[in-house]
C-alpha cells in the first residue's frame, strides 16, 4: 500500500479552460454520477436544491411482499419515463473522449447508449432484471409489458407523481399493485442493480482499481464528473488515486466528499466542461 502524499498544488476552483488544459493530453479514468444525467431529464440525489431522498435498501426489499410491491409499483412508473431518456451532450462528449475506463455509478445505461466502449456500470443497469431464485436475467422492457398487463390502469392513475433518480417515483399507496414472479421458477424478481446495503461485485471493483492503479505510470488523471462522492462506492477510487499521487479533478455543482483530495475542483455543468475537453483533445489530435 502506498502512503498518502499531497499533490503538488492545492485544490482550486479554476476556470474551465485551466482544467481543460491540464487534462487535454493526459490518459484518463473517468468516474461519473447522477449529475451527468440531469441534462437528460433524470433528477440527481444530492445536487443543489435536490430534496432529501431515501432509496429502498436491499434488506427492506427482501423483507416481504409489501416492500416488493412498493418497489415495483414505483419503478413501473419511473421506468416508463427513464426508459425514454436519451444521452445528453455530456454523455456524447465522454464517448468521443474514450477514456481508458469509464466508471459510472448511474444505472440508466446512457453512457452505453451514447457509444462509450470501456464502461463499468458499478451499480448495474436498471434495464436488466434478475431472478433471485434461478438467477435468470431478462430485460426490463419485457417485464414492463407484463406489469402493464397486470396493472392496466396504473400509469394513467399516477401520471403526475414526481420522478426520482434511481428509476422510481414518489408514491406511497401501492397496496393494489400486482408484482409478478419469475415466469421460469416463480422466484422473486429484482432489478439487476446494487441496492443500498448490497456489495458491488468484486470483479467490477477490481477492474476499476486496476485502471486507477495504472494512472501514475501513464501520467494520467482521475476525472470525477457529476458525483457528490457521498457513498464509498465511488469515493474509494478517489482515495486510491490520491494515495498514489495521481491528480484528481472534480467537476460537480456543489461540495463533494473528495474535495480535500482534489487537485482541481470546478463547479460548472458536466456537459459544458466535457464538451470543452473533447474539443481540446480533438485540436491536439489534428
As given in the structure block, the three cell numbers for residue 217 are 505510470
270 annotated to a ligand binding site: no
CA neighbor of 200 nearest in space, from 60, 105, 70, 268: 105
- 145: enclosing H helix or E strand: helix 140-150
Q: Which of 76, 111, 123, 158 is catalytic?
A: 123
Which residues, in sequence order, are bridge partners of residue 189? 131
208 annotated to a ligand binding site: no
Phi, psi of 187 (to 5 degrees): -80, 175
Q: CA 6 to CA 9: how far, in whole Å?
A: 8
Could you confirm whether 123 is annotated as catalytic? yes
185 annotated to a ligand binding site: yes
Q: CA 222 to CA 237: how far, in whole Å?
A: 9
Full strand arrangement of the beta sheet holding 137-139: 137-139, 124-131, 189-193
Known binding-site positions: 131, 134, 182, 185
Q: Which residues are annotated as a binding site for Zn(2+)?
A: 131, 134, 182, 185
Q: Which residues carry out catalysis?
A: 123
Amino acid at each position: 500500500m502506498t502512503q498518502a502524499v499531497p499533490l503538488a498544488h492545492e485544490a482550486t476552483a479554476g476556470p474551465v479552460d485551466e482544467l481543460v488544459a491540464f487534462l487535454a493530453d493526459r490518459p484518463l479514468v473517468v468516474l461519473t454520477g447522477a449529475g451527468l444525467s440531469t441534462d437528460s431529464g433524470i433528477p440527481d440525489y444530492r445536487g443543489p436544491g435536490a430534496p432529501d431522498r431515501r432509496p429502498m435498501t436491499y434488506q427492506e426489499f427482501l423483507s416481504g411482499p409489501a416492500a416488493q410491491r412498493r418497489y415495483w409499483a414505483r419503478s413501473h412508473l419511473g421506468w416508463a419515463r427513464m426508459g425514454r431518456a436519451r444521452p445528453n451532450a455530456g454523455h456524447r462528449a465522454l464517448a468521443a473522449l474514450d477514456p481508458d475506463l469509464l466508471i459510472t455509478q448511474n444505472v440508466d445505461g446512457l453512457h452505453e447508449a451514447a457509444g462509450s466502449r470501456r464502461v463499468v456500470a458499478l451499480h448495474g443497469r436498471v434495464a436488466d432484471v434478475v431472478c433471485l431464485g434461478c438467477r435468470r436475467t431478462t430485460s426490463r422492457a419485457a417485464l414492463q409489458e407484463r406489469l402493464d398487463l397486470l396493472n392496466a390502469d396504473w400509469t394513467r392513475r399516477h401520471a403526475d407523481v414526481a420522478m426520482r433518480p434511481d428509476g422510481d417515483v414518489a408514491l406511497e399507496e401501492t397496496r393494489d399493485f400486482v408484482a409478478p414472479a419469475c415466469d421460469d421458477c416463480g422466484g422473486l424478481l429484482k432489478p439487476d442493480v446494487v441496492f443500498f446495503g448490497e456489495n458491488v461485485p468484486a470483479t467490477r471493483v477490481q477492474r476499476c482499481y486496476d485502471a486507477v492503479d495504472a494512472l501514475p505510470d501513464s501520467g494520467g488523471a482521475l476525472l470525477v464528473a457529476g458525483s457528490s462522492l457521498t457513498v464509498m462506492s465511488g469515493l474509494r477510487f478517489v482515495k486510491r488515486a490520491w494515495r498514489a499521487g495521481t491528480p484528481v479533478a472534480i467537476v460537480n455543482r456543489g461540495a463533494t466528499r473528495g474535495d480535500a483530495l482534489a487537485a482541481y475542483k470546478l463547479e460548472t455543468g458536466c456537459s459544458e466542461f466535457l464538451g470543452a475537453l473533447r474539443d481540446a483533445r480533438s485540436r491536439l489530435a489534428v
